[in-house]
Each structure stands twice: as C-alpha cells, then as structure tokens.
Amino acid sequence: MKQLHLAAVHQAQGSIALPGSKSISNRMLLLAALASGTTEIRDLLVSDDTDRMLDALKLLGVPLHHQSKHSWQVTGADGRFPVKQAALFLGNAGTVFRPLTAALAFSDGDYQLSGVARMHERPIGDLVDALRLTGAHIDYLHNPGFPPLHIRPGKIVFDQPIRVRGDVSSQFLTALLMALPLTGQDCTIEVEGELISKPYIEITLNLMARFGVQVSREGWQRFQLHAGSRYTSPGVLQVEGDASSASYFLAAGAIGGGPVRVTGLNAQSIQGDVRFADALALMGADIRYGDNWITASGNGKPLRPIDLDCNHIPDAAMTLAMLALFADGTSTLRNIASWRVKETDRLTAMATELRKLGAEVEEGADYIRITPPARLTAGAAIDTYDDHRMAMCFSLASLGKVDVIINDPDCVAKTFPDYFQQLGTLLS
C-alpha cells in the first residue's frame, strides 16, 4: 500500500485556486445532457466522480466535446438518451449513481448500473421505491435496497403524489427532482421523514432553474413540477470552486496562522458547505470574504471548542472533527447519522483515526464528541478507508507539529486528485 509521510509543520500561508464543485459539476453535466441545445461548462471539476458522469453520458450517446482541461461542450439529447442499452460503471459517485438511476428509469431503455464494492453497500432503496410508484421498472441484481441495478422500460403513469424518504440521503430527492421533467407530467413529490442535507436540494433547484425548469415547493415537504417542463440550455455556465474542498485550506489557515485564501468561491455561493466558514469563525478564526475569495487566519490562540448541529454541512463537518484536535476543550458534532452510509462509515472511521492521534472520542449513533490530547501523538499511520475526505482531513494533523503518515493517499482522486500538491504549497 502506498503511504504518504507528511512532516511536522508550523505554518500555513498562501492562496489556492479551488477545483470546481463536485456537486455542481455533476448536476450541470446531467442537466446539459438532458436539455435541448448546447451547453458550455467552464471550470468543471476533473476527478474520478466527474469522470464517472462523463463516461456514462458518453456511453449513453450524448455528444461531449472536450474544449480544454476544465471546459466541456455538451450537446443535449432533449430528454432522450440516444443509446437504449448500456452497462454503466459508476464508481463510488453518489452524485452520479442516484440521479442517473432516476433519469434512466424514465428513458425507455435497458440499463445495468454498478459501482465499486462500497457503492453496493450504500442504500438506494428509498429512491427505487419512489420510482416504482411512477411505474418505473427497476430490479436489484444482488441485495434488495442496494446497487447494482437493472432498469428496464416501465409504463410511466401516475396520478398520486410520489413519496420519498428524505432522512437517509438528500440525493434521492435530488434525483427525482432532476428526472421527473422527463415524464412531461404534473408531479408532486412528498418527502417522508426529516429531510437531511437540505442545502444540496437548494443547489439542485437553483441549477434546474438555470436550465428553465421551475419547481414550486412548500417548505421541505412538498415539491411540485409542472406538466410540459423541459430543460433548455442556458448557453455558457461557470462552475464555482468546491466549498467542501475549501474547508481543508481554510482550516489550515485557522490553525497554521494564515492567512490562507481560497479563490473561486464567495459568501454568495450556492453551496451549503460555504457555511463551514461560519463554524470556523465560531471556533475563533478570522474569516474575510471578497468578490471571488474567502480568507481564514488564526488569532494566535487555540481554537474554541464547538457544539454544533452539522446536518447542513455533512461533508465539511469532517473537517470540523479534525479541528476539534486544535481546540482547548471538548467539541461535539451532532446530527450526522448520514456519515455512516457514505464512502465509509465515517463516524467509526473518524473516531478510530482520531484516537490514533491521542484524542478521547465518544462515537454515538449520530454524533461524535472529541476531547483533544495535551499533545498529538507523533508518527501515527492513518487509515483512510478509500475515503477522500479522511485523507484530506488527516493531512491537517501535520499542522499540530507532528509528523503523520497517510495510508493510500491516492483516494483523494474521488474529488481532488492533486490535493496534496496544493496543500504542500501552503505549508512550512
């Protein structure tokens, strides 16, 4: 297994041009593929998750033209994928697997969808149940409730609201919202249970609107799409910098003195994870915003511990767990049960690896409580569980003036292939 040895460092300072947002990139690619007209997408993220979407769209017959490293031209299929039979490998990309399942369920073809072993342990039953209510024909190829899936032409007719559970992953609702315009019918979606990760639904609605489809909603319970809604290309689109990826660098600025600036993002971002900066400010960091940047600096003192409901920032909350090591007291991150069904069981993985650094950690069903040690344990070998965020988070331990070993560092390729090179430019 490859290992990356990170030397103890004292300071983080500099500026990082953020890679494009994963959540925005994959939504824009799919919406552009479903729209009429040609869309140019600029600053698209280049990563494993976006490669899975691009490869799938190519196999489905969508004309894609690579203009430059980060820029793609997508000629939309106007709601009908040209290829009617395909076997698609979707890696471990939730933002590909869930939305494509819904889009293909309404595409009148024969499709098999699979992923890596971990993707076959990540739930999809709530989405399949909802799609079956519309008349979609979907079978499980191995375990009920989980990928891989076999989708066949269904008889899509429904006059009842489509009910979907919202308390396991918001990606099920996102998938339905993005795909239902393909049916051409009036649709009402009713969310059962408390919807989690709400800001990701805001991203979905915002991008659907840019492609000309408006959704009416009552709170987070009821969403309505109107008959005849169709996606049309808005022309040229720009992807914002990734707010979850920004969290590692802003955190580095807070604990390594700073200032650290990330560019490609600002306070008006449509990504919920931009609110990570508020949590960082609560911990005592100095945060400044500009038209296209955010800067974080420390104030020379240890961070303040926090007790925070992190349901709105599930990905960036992992960075807060790391920062808890740098606080002068116990921190609690709450309402993060969804961590258990992501790239790995992130609650157990985080607790296990934080303990290797000397922290006292309590792991609950949906929370984690972290008491930092007086001094971090040097030389810990951190397992990353094929989870990009575990690797990125634990790289920050080197700012605790200890060396640290990251096992299997290349797992960052899921969303940020050159993360360690970028981080290296800040550290001294």
Ligand X SMILES: O=C(O)C1=C[C@@H](OP(=O)(O)O)[C@@H](O)[C@H](O)C1
Ligand Y SMILES: C=C(OP(=O)(O)O)C(=O)O
Annotated binding site for phosphoenolpyruvate: 22, 94, 122, 171, 346, 389, 414
Rounded Cα gap, residues 393 and 201, in angstroms: 25
245 near ligand X, rule: CB under 6 A: no
DSSP string over 308-363: EE-TT-TTTHHHHHHHGGGBSS-EEEES-GGGGGSSS-HHHHHHHHHHHTT-EEEE
94 near ligand Y, rule: CB under 6 A: yes
List the catalytic residue out of 49, 126, 242, 315.
315
Q: Identify which range of 90-98, 245-253, 283-291, 403-411 contacts ligand Y by CB under 6 A.
A: 90-98
- Our answer to whether residue 403 is catalytic in this structure is no
- Could you say which of 12, 14, 18, 23 contacts ligand X (CB under 6 A)? 23
Closest alpha carbon to 322 in 354, 283, 278? 354
147 near ligand X, rule: CB under 6 A: no
Residue nearest to ligand Y (CB): 94
93 near ligand Y, rule: CB under 6 A: yes
**Least CB distance to ligand X at residue 196 (A):** 6
Rounded Cα gap, residues 232 and 222, in angstroms: 24
**Least CB distance to ligand X at residue 119 (A):** 13
Max distance between CA atoms of the chain, in angstroms, equals 64
Backbone angles phi, psi at 190, to 5 degrees: -115, 130
Q: Identify which range of 133-141, 192-200, 257-265, 362-370 contacts ligand X by CB under 6 A.
A: 192-200
Choose between 247 and 398: whose C-beta lies nearer to ligand X.
247
Rounded Cα gap, residues 109 and 86, in angstroms: 8
- Could you say which of 21, 47, 50, 95 contacts ligand Y (CB under 6 A)? 95
**Residues annotated as binding site for 3-phosphoshikimate?**
22-23, 27, 169-171, 197, 315, 342
Choose between 97 and 376: whose C-beta lies nearer to ligand Y.
97
Q: How far is CA 322 from CA 119, 332, 390, in A?
A: 25, 12, 10
Angle at 378 between CA 326 and CA 10, to 5 degrees: 55
Rounded Cα gap, residues 364 and 215, in angstroms: 37
197 near ligand Y, rule: CB under 6 A: no
Angle at 171 between CA 231 and CA 353, to 5 degrees: 145
* Cα-Cα-Cα-Cα dihedral sign, residues 265, 319, 256, 328: positive
Question: Which residue's structure tokens are 């990009």?
Answer: 388
- Could you say which of 76, 314, 372, 400 contacts ligand X (CB under 6 A)? 314
Choose between 97 and 231: whose C-beta lies nearer to ligand Y.
97
261 near ligand Y, rule: CB under 6 A: no
Rounded Cα gap, residues 197 and 192, in angstroms: 14
**Residue 93 contacts by C-beta under 8 Å, 6 or more apart in sequence?**
26, 48, 49, 52, 53, 115, 119, 414
Closest alpha carbon to 202 in 243, 253, 231, 163? 243
336 near ligand Y, rule: CB under 6 A: no
**Least CB distance to ligand Y at residue 257 (A):** 28
- Could you say which of 126, 315, 353, 383 contacts ligand Y (CB under 6 A)? 315
90 near ligand Y, rule: CB under 6 A: no
**Residues annotated as binding site?**
22-23, 27, 94, 122, 169-171, 197, 315, 342, 346, 389, 414
Q: Which parts of this chain interact with ligand X (CB under 6 A)?
A: 23, 94-95, 169-171, 174, 196-197, 200, 314-315, 338
Q: Which parts of this chain interact with ligand Y (CB under 6 A)?
A: 92-95, 315, 342, 389, 415
